[in-house]
Chain A
Amino acid sequence: MGNNNNDPGTEGTISNYQVHTLLFSALVGVSVLMMPRNIVIASRTDSEWVIFISGFIVLLFVWLIGALMKKFPRQNIIQFAQSMVGKKNQRIMARILTLPFALALAGLWLWMASIVTRSFGEVLVSFVLPQTPIGVLMFSIIFVAAIVVSNPLVIIVRMTEFLLPFIYITLPLLVAGLLQEGSALNLLPLFQADWKEVANGVFSSLLSYSGFSILFIYMAFYQQPEKSMRTHTITIMVCTLFFWFAIVTSIGAFGSAEIFHLLYPPLELVKVTSFPGQVLDRLESLFIAIWMLAVFTTIILFFGSTVEVVMSYVPFKEKRRGWVTFLLAPIFYILAQYPSNLQELALWSQWAGIAEIIITLLFVAIFFIVWAVRERKKGEDNATTSPS
């Protein structure tokens, strides 16, 4: 009777719209605050079109991951890696062989989560709560994140689903800033950068897109993996537009020369904006409050995929998820505390972005090769057995 086949409430799956919210929330986070500066340093006003190149490259990565994951429906990367390596009696062998993959992914995502947490902690300390020690702030973020992550991944995705509309609210704030402070002259000149500058810009903005690799985990829960390509493409386009918007509003308001001296250009833009009638005098607290949601969803998505890797590598029972989470949380905290200053943190985040790209490409290549070899073997087996 019912139309329950396509019911978004179906337990344990991620609907198409949720795919959009999950990917968007993973990519758009604290990086939006810093990215305009990084890309403008590299390619100045030309960032306005350079960002589309890196968006396209990220789209290629996401397509690759999608193509790989589609071959193994309902399985995440660790699960199909283990099933690829061993038959049922070779479980220990499978564990040993897949250990590097599990370690690399879990480590990468925990590292990325800690970088995001630390970066946002720094933002909070410098703008909202100057007298609170950053350790306390990060502790509370991680504590709340751990409570969320103790739940199945689908719950995490539904958090992002609910919170996504709030993130879009920040767009009008940026527009208001642009209208008040911006000038079209700041946006010009275009097409002045040489190839090297463009490449640098692409590279530095590519790192801001970090987070797409969590699809290795989340695609296992898709309701309609076959339709995911379209959703992924749209989401990356929307993200790119969002980034582009942040860049254009920042450049429009400050000009490329001034952005060099601003740590968080979009935040500074909101800071100089005020609503007519002085309702809220300084908007940046509101902006940060909303942005906290965006950052928080990023953190729980990364942390959640870390926990999921551990959970599927050592098949713990579902009720042990809370334990795993709270055992990982101290490591998370230590990693977040580790960088001694902003400079080091920026370096870390660069390295993490590079590591993500390398790991993604490497894993996709390895698994495609193994998959192709196995398919061929299977084909040969079939060929030899079928005539007899």
Chain B
Amino acid sequence: MRKRIRRRRESRKQNILQKNAEQKQKAHAKGASISSDIEPNLVYFETLLGKERSSDLNVRRFTIQYTTERKAGLIYMDGLSFCPGIDEFLLEPLMLMGRTLDVKKDLMESVMNSLLQHGEVKPTDNMEKLVDSLLSGDVLVFVDGYPEGIVVGLKGALRRGVGEPRAEAVVRGSREGFVEAMRINTALVRWRLRDPDLRMVGLTVGKRTKTPATLAYIEGVADPNLVLEVEKRIQAIKIDGILESGYIEEMIQDNKWSVFPVIQNTERPDSVVAHLLEGKVAIIVEGTPNALIAPAVFTQFYYSPDDYYDRYLIATFMRFIRLISFLISLSLPALYIAFISFHPEMIPPKLSLAAAAGRATVPFPSIVEALLMELSVEILREASIRLPGPIGPTIGIVGALVIGDAAVSAGLVSPLMVIVVGLTTISSYATPSYSAAISVRLLRFPMMIVAGIFGLYGVVMLYLLILLHLIKLRSFDVPYLAPYTPLRLSDLKDSLIRVPWPYMNQRPAIFRTSNIQREEDVKSDGQQQQ
């Protein structure tokens, strides 16, 4: 019985697929080249998109009052195009002003010249291009008797306005963040970088989504080899869909299995401009506010844009704070385990005694205690992200304070452990880059496990292995731990210490920039840049 149902379902599926394929094939056979008759063209689009089953496809047939009535058609996707504009700038002139045209001139030319009142008007006889433009929001116009279609760039999908970046807040600096529309994003970059050498290469990724992406770089500053390599890798991507820049990031990065991010993502246009000026490239993808920056080195994930806006001393101090918080978030729970279980003599005797007293009622070994607490903190953190806006922080406070306090008074965990976990969690938030913070969060767990087995010795061994991995890692042929190893003294000006701007008169050399001078930047045409 069940078998029969399954078989019937299967045959129905086959039938539908076959019918669709046949229809499409018929349409293709007819419409592969644009007919000079208008009706087949319109029908082609209707079958290609499935007229009855795509409610947002809009095909409008009308007439132009020329010498005689000439049939014409207009196709657009409802919602992707700017509808009031279609009525006002396209349909109104086309329908009403036909009679005013000079009869001696060619109709097509006249339509292009005086009836389509929009800046971006392109005729084309390439059917594929027409389909792509239609699906990206352009309006197509066909006129009977001419075997070509006109693409009018009246894209106008509704978009979120430019807002404050959510994940990368700064105290001082621009409040603008990228949005989902790529064009707005490229404009945000170009508005900050009025350099004729800024290049924005248009690329398309994804067989089905056909996502537009922009590869931005400054000619004469970025290494040409780097630009070629990035472009090559993006073009080599074979995938059906790109929904976020993360897809591209994983497709083009060097070591695909690494825990550490080797391409930076940012929501800040000012940050993109700063990196472009250092000779890197940026990839801006349609549909996401996260732009990619490549190549990236380890330390740059710990730099925030305000490091460059605030005074140098504050910036340097903040970088030290971040280094400390990096070390704490990576190894404090592991050190707790090591000290409690292996080396109680290393901490001051009073602290050691207090820790032992706190642990007197705890029924677990310190490793279990630490893993338990770290896991519950991770759960809390995940929950507070998923919870709807106003509840999130509340749950965080309830979880951390109430559960933590209850666990301590119930004697399940020691008070010291709660301090350690709290400090660790807060430290991991001090990292400006979310993706780098996550990788450290992950590495904390193996760290705790080796500390439970080998104590301090295991922690050092794991640090060595992580170091080995970091040393081997490369991002577009830039060593990940540069400028520390290989050591580059000139680049240490902007490392843990940031020297004042007048002394950072050179671009970092590790990115192999074509023009190292930042201060006296003489452009290739000999013109002195201000």
The closest CB in chain B to the CB of A283 belongs to B346
If the complex has contacts A8-B488, A282-B345, A282-B346, are A159 and B455 also in contact, measured as CB distance less than 8 A? no
Fill in one digit per residue for B450-471: 1 if any A CB lies within 8 Å of its CB, else 0: 0000111111110011011001
If the complex has contacts A128-B456, A155-B472, are A9 and B464 also in contact, measured as CB distance less than 8 A? no
A226 at interface (Cβ–Cβ under 8 A)?
Answer: no
B514 touches A9 (CB 8 A): no
B343, B479, B484, B515: which contacts A285 (Cβ < 8 A)?
Answer: B343
A128 touches B457 (CB 8 A): yes
Q: Enumerate chain B residues within 8 angstroms of A159, measured Cβ to Cβ.
A: 464, 467-468, 471
A144 touches B346 (CB 8 A): no
Within 8 A of B (CB), among A129-167: 129, 132, 137, 140-141, 144, 147-148, 151, 155, 158-159, 161-163
Least distance between B262 CB and chain A CB atoms (Å) = 15
A1, A7, A129, A286: which contacts B514 (Cβ < 8 A)?
Answer: A1
The closest CB in chain B to the CB of A15 belongs to B486
B510 touches A279 (CB 8 A): no
A293 touches B464 (CB 8 A): yes
Least distance between A380 CB and chain B CB atoms (Å) = 45
The closest CB in chain A to the CB of B468 belongs to A148
A9, A151, A278: which contacts B510 (Cβ < 8 A)?
Answer: A9
The closest CB in chain B to the CB of A140 belongs to B461
A9 touches B478 (CB 8 A): yes
Within 8 A of A (CB), among B307-352: 342-343, 345-350
**Cα–Cα, bound, A132→B461 (Å):** 15
The closest CB in chain B to the CB of A278 belongs to B348
A281 at interface (Cβ–Cβ under 8 A)?
Answer: yes
A124 at interface (Cβ–Cβ under 8 A)?
Answer: yes
Counting chain A residues whose Cβ lies within 8 A of the other chain, the interface size class is: 35 or more
If the complex has contacts A140-B461, A293-B464, are A3 and B345 also in contact, measured as CB distance less than 8 A? no
**Cα–Cα, bound, A129→B341 (Å):** 11
Q: Enumerate chain A residues within 8 angstroms of B488, measured Cβ to Cβ.
A: 8
**Cα–Cα, bound, A318→B24 (Å):** 53
Least distance between B71 CB and chain A CB atoms (Å) = 60
A129 touches B485 (CB 8 A): no
Closest 3 CB pairs of A and B: A8-B486, A278-B348, A162-B485
If the complex has contacts A9-B479, A144-B464, A292-B460, are A158 and B349 also in contact, measured as CB distance less than 8 A? no
**Cα–Cα, bound, A140→B450 (Å):** 11
Q: Enumerate chain B residues within 8 angstroms of A4, measured Cβ to Cβ.
A: 512
B456 touches A285 (CB 8 A): yes
Within 8 A of A (CB), among B468-482: 468, 471-472, 478-479, 481-482
**Cα–Cα, bound, A338→B481 (Å):** 39
Q: How many contacts between A and B, using CB within 8 angstroms?
A: 100
B454 touches A18 (CB 8 A): no
B457 touches A147 (CB 8 A): no
Interface residues of A, Cβ cutoff 8 Å to B:
1-4, 7-9, 15, 17-18, 124, 128-129, 132, 137, 140-141, 144, 147-148, 151, 155, 158-159, 161-163, 278-282, 285-286, 289, 292-293, 296
If the complex has contacts A4-B512, A158-B485, A281-B345, are A292 and B468 also in contact, measured as CB distance less than 8 A? no
A162 touches B484 (CB 8 A): yes
B457 touches A2 (CB 8 A): no
The closest CB in chain A to the CB of B225 belongs to A2
A162 touches B467 (CB 8 A): yes
B487 touches A17 (CB 8 A): yes
A155 touches B460 (CB 8 A): no
If the complex has contacts A132-B454, A159-B468, are A285 and B486 also in contact, measured as CB distance less than 8 A? no
Fill in one digit per residue for B245-280: 1 if any A CB lies within 8 Å of its CB, else 0: 000000000000000000000000000000000000
**Cα–Cα, bound, A137→B342 (Å):** 14
**Cα–Cα, bound, A162→B471 (Å):** 9
The closest CB in chain A to the CB of B513 belongs to A2
B356 at interface (Cβ–Cβ under 8 A)?
Answer: no
B485 touches A281 (CB 8 A): no
B346 touches A285 (CB 8 A): yes
If the complex has contacts A158-B471, A292-B457, are A144 and B465 also in contact, measured as CB distance less than 8 A? yes
Least distance between A147 CB and chain B CB atoms (Å) = 7
B223 at interface (Cβ–Cβ under 8 A)?
Answer: yes
**Cα–Cα, bound, A272→B291 (Å):** 55
If the complex has contacts A9-B510, A161-B487, A282-B345, are A129 and B467 also in contact, measured as CB distance less than 8 A? no
The closest CB in chain B to the CB of A150 belongs to B468
**Cα–Cα, bound, A162→B456 (Å):** 20
The closest CB in chain B to the CB of A163 belongs to B467
**Cα–Cα, bound, A286→B456 (Å):** 9
User: By CB atoms of chain A within 10 A, which of B348, B486, B488, B515 has the most?
Assistant: B486
Within 8 A of A (CB), among B274-302: none
The closest CB in chain B to the CB of A141 belongs to B461
Q: Enumerate chain A residues within 8 angstroms of B514, measured Cβ to Cβ.
A: 1-2
Q: Enumerate chain A residues within 8 angstroms of B486, measured Cβ to Cβ.
A: 8-9, 15, 18, 158, 161
The closest CB in chain B to the CB of A13 belongs to B486
**Cα–Cα, bound, A282→B352 (Å):** 12
The closest CB in chain B to the CB of A284 belongs to B346
The closest CB in chain B to the CB of A165 belongs to B484
B509 at interface (Cβ–Cβ under 8 A)?
Answer: yes
Q: Enumerate chain B residues within 8 angstroms of A286, measured Cβ to Cβ.
A: 346
**Cα–Cα, bound, A151→B478 (Å):** 18
User: Knowing that A148-B468, A278-B349 are A-B contacts, what are 16 other residue pairs whose CB atoms are under 8 Å apart, sorted by A's residue number?
Assistant: A3-B516, A4-B512, A8-B487, A9-B482, A128-B342, A129-B454, A132-B454, A140-B458, A151-B472, A158-B485, A162-B467, A162-B481, A278-B350, A281-B346, A282-B345, A285-B345
Least distance between A329 CB and chain B CB atoms (Å) = 15
B468 touches A155 (CB 8 A): yes
**Cα–Cα, bound, A278→B397 (Å):** 34
Least distance between A358 CB and chain B CB atoms (Å) = 33
